[in-house]
Amino acid sequence: MGAAVAVAAGALGVGLSATASSASSRPSAKIGGSVSVWAEWTAAEETDFLKAIKPFEQSTGITVNYQGKGSGTMDTALDTSVAGGKPPDVAFVPDPGTLDTLASEHKLQPLAPILGSLVKNYGPAWNKLGSYKGKLYGVWYKAANKNTVWYNPALFAEAGIKSTPTTWQQMLTDAKTLRAAGITPFSLCTDVGWPLADLWQNLYLKTNGSAAYSKLAEDSIPWTSPTVTKTFNLFADLVGNPSYLLGGTSGALSTGGTYPNCVNPVFPAKGTSPTAAMVIEADFVVSQIVSNSPTYTAGTKGKGGKACTANVAETPCYDFFPFPTPAGDQKNAAALQGAGDVGMVLNPTPQAKAFIRYVATAKPGEIWAHIGGFTSPNKTVSLSSYPDAVTRADAKELVDASSFVFSLDDLQNTAKGAWEKQMWADMLDFVKTPTAAEIKTLEPQMQSLAATAWGR
């Protein structure tokens, strides 16, 4: 694969800074016409994206015909459209593996000649992630910090929890405390399995470190490795306790576990009360929180400095803590898993070229950053664009990470094969049966699929 799996924080080049310039290209002439754009963003994320591209439509006269394909279905939809000869003009995909495959098939337009100096808006690592065999084909518009556990401060206070956990074991102890106080600890996101993969991958990274993570991602470490078994055992400590999960195991695996529904029990809309204290997912959770109600305040104090309340009509709050590292593995605490959406041009029309140039400027990133639920890998996006201390801290984590790894499941769509969706299914199977026997069944199965995908 042409994509780098893990990079040192210093190479990220994200450069989020309160003094960073908001460089943008010169306004485009009125071009007119339309451009078809696909991405997986739906619901609140779709609304936010449309706001971010509104200035482009106004300045160029180009109509953006956007289709949100939904999480877990974008790659399939794009593959089908490419095979049928009718792809969108521009597509955003959530993994560099898809970019590599399409580039290897000569389906993408090289971007360096289109972007010119805008290429410098990204650090070397992000440009490398958007390249295949040394040639740039992608612009990383949206990044996701997956090193986050989102919690309702009012429920933590109600249970007498005064500080957030710093170890995996402490988080489970806090879950026991919440349960004793009559509060369900977790609304578990399961969906088609990708949120569970995110959780497991975080746990693997924090337990084994970025070097082992990268080797597992590239099938240099087998899925039958003791490192994998250890991670599944730790994972079972959470998902193997149904009382910690809203609705128990069956509830977590039903429609309540679909995204973004799984966010709502922790941060509900007005007229309802929270029924769980935590939800484990990336920073895009914020989009759903703030769309549920404008009364939410980021941090541990409500509006006017008042105490956080469970009542959404009063002073509700939201906050996060870094995904906790298991005790004894603290050397891996600063390692961070993330992901992103990379924009690619499939039909090099004047409208598509103008659109991808706009995507590479600071403007669309700053608009969405101000709304919330968004982190930009574009180093010209100012830290001051983020609306509050919580989202600035979230963005800063990307810069301060000792190492950055791309979501392991997203890296499994290789030129030789793909098994990302089967990985998701395996994670769902484990939540159904979180036992040692299930681990022994899953690991060889996962290794066989990985070996095939990587041509071993």
d(CA 181, CA 214): 40
Domain ranges of the chain: 6-137+335-405, 148-332
Q: 102 near 74, Cβ under 8 Å? A: no
CA atoms within a 13 Å half-sphere pointing along the CA-CB vector of 3: 34
* Residue 170, burial from CB neighbour count under 10 angstroms (0-12, 13-18, 19+): middle
Structure token digits, residue 425: 């299914």
Rounded to a whole number, what is the distance in angstroms from the first to the last CA of the chain? 14
User: How would you label 414-447 residue by residue, b for 16+ Cβ within 10 Å and e otherwise?
Assistant: bbeebbbbbbbebbbebbeebeeebbeebbeebb
d(CA 427, CA 95): 19
Domain 6-137+335-405 has CATH 3.40.190.10: yes
pLDDT of residue 11: 35
d(CA 161, CA 154): 10
Same fold, 6-137+335-405 and 148-332: yes
CA atoms within a 13 Å half-sphere pointing along the CA-CB vector of 322: 23
SS3 per-residue string spanning the chain: CCCCCEEEHHHHCCCCCCCCCCCCCCCCCCCCCEEEEEECCCHHHHHHHHHHHHHHHHHHCCEEEEEECCCCCHHHHHHHHHHCCCCCCEEEECCHHHHHHHHHCCCCCCCHHHHHHHHHHCCHHHHHHCEECCEECCEEEEEEECCEEEECHHHHHHCCCCCCCCEHHHHHHHHHHHHHCCCEEECCCCCCCHHHHHHHHHHHHHHHHHHHHHHHHCCCCCCCCHHHHHHHHHHHHHHCCHHHECCHHHHHCCHHHCCCHHHCCCCCCCCCCCCEEEEECCCCHHHHHHHHCCCCEECCCCHHHCCCCCCCCCCCEEEEEECCECCCCHHHCCEEEEEEEEEEECCCCHHHHHHHHHHCCCHHHHHHHHHCCCECCCCCCCHHHCCCHHHHHHHHHHHHCCEEEECCHHHHECCCCECHHHHHHHHHHHHHCCCHHHHHHHHHHHHHHHHHHCCC
d(CA 256, CA 413): 28
Radius of gyration of the chain (CA): 21
d(CA 361, CA 211): 33
Helices 43-60 and 363-371: angle between axes, nearest 10 degrees: 140
CATH fold, domain 148-332, is: D-Maltodextrin-Binding Protein; domain 2 (3.40.190)
Structure token digits, residue 270: 């007005």
Structure token digits, residue 333: 């605490």
- pLDDT by residue for the chain (456 residues), tens digit each? 344 344 433 333 333 333 333 333 444 568 999 999 999 999 889 999 999 999 999 999 999 999 999 977 898 899 999 999 999 999 999 888 889 889 999 999 999 999 999 999 988 778 888 999 999 999 999 988 999 999 999 999 999 999 999 999 999 999 999 999 999 999 999 999 999 999 999 999 999 999 999 999 999 999 999 999 999 999 999 999 999 999 999 999 999 999 999 999 999 999 999 999 999 999 989 889 999 999 999 999 999 999 999 999 999 999 999 999 999 999 999 889 988 899 999 999 999 999 999 999 999 999 999 988 788 888 889 889 998 889 888 887 875 666 778 899 988 877 677 899 999 999 999 999 999 999 999 999 999 999 999 988
